[in-house]
Amino acid sequence: MIKEALQYIAGLANTRTEAIGDQIFSTQPVHLVRQARAEAIKVRSLSGMVEYLKSEFDGKTKLLIQVVSPTEVHAFGTFNRDLDRNYLITASALLPEFRYGNFYESEDFNIKLQSGFVPSHDRAAVLALVGNIREDAVKTVGDDGVSQSVTARTGVATVAPVPVPNPVTLQPFRTFVEVEQPESEFIFRIKQGPTCALFEADGGAWKLEAMYRIKNYLLLALEEKVNSGEIVIIA
């Protein structure tokens, strides 16, 4: 065993490379010893990222900030000797949960709508309808599957068929709280129970708008460093 180990070590000492055509081959397997990299700091807000970058806590260096998605932003430096990038800090948004396309019991839906959406005229209209709907009557009118009406209280002691508003324009908390939440359209549906659901209806366009707003926020917050060329921001 010892003899074989010594022969292996001796073989490594004689490792050489040879070019055959356009390719380079080695006489022994070799492995890259990668340059050490620091672990990126993780924050949950854009303001936390801005404070860190302004402090120059880890020194002054040229950085690229990439808005990866409405909920994720990375700040990193250039390549090291192994062509790996040095990530300094990442920001991940802390958001309330709302499952689009899933039906909620009316009480749960009411709570999530109030806690996870920016106040607006359409939000108030949906909340008013959900809060007054009768438990025993949800019906669909028309054959296109779009229009609905429900039996709801319309006064102190009266009930009547009420049309369900569709589509509705709402502002869920879907990106960092430091920027204005993008508006988008939703299909609001009610089923027997009653249960309620929202279906996204803008094809994901809100994501591009959110990323654009994050970029603008960072450009303004880090204006001095951007103007001096220390920081470049892309989205």
Whether 134 contacts 80, CB under 8 Å: no
In a shared domain, residues 109 and 169: yes
Pick the residue with more confidence: 114 or 161? 114
In a shared domain, residues 178 and 121: yes
- Does residue 200 sit in helix, strand or coil? strand
In a shared domain, residues 134 and 149: yes
Residue 23 counted as domain residue? no
In a shared domain, residues 89 and 174: no
**Mind listing the pLDDT tens digit for each residue in 25-78?**
777 776 777 777 788 999 999 999 999 999 999 888 899 999 999 999 999 998
**Mind listing the pLDDT tens digit for each residue in 3-33?**
565 555 555 556 777 788 888 777 777 677 7
**């404070």: which residue's tokens?**
51
Which residues span the domain enclosing 225? 41-95+210-234
Cis peptide before 182 (omega within 30 of 0): no
Q: How far is CA 150 from CA 89, 137, 147, 171, 206, in A?
A: 50, 6, 11, 24, 30
**Mind listing the pLDDT tens digit for each residue in 145-160?**
555 555 544 443 344 5
User: For residue 141, what pLDDT band results from cuts at 50, 70 and 90?
Assistant: very low
User: For residue 143, what pLDDT band results from cuts at 50, 70 and 90?
Assistant: very low
In a shared domain, residues 171 and 130: yes
Q: Which two tokens stand for residue 225?
A: 């460093």
What is the C-alpha separation between 151 and 16, in angstroms, rounded? 84
Give percent above pLDDT 70 in the chain.
80
Q: What was the pLDDT predicted at 47?
A: 97
In a shared domain, residues 130 and 198: yes
Residue 17 counted as domain residue? no
What is the C-alpha separation between 210 and 193, in angstroms, rounded? 35
Q: How many domains does the chain have?
A: 2
State yes or no: pLDDT of 233 exceeds 60: yes
State yes or no: pLDDT of 163 exceeds 90: no
In a shared domain, residues 218 and 157: no
Q: What was the pLDDT predicted at 29?
A: 73
Residue 86 counted as domain residue? yes
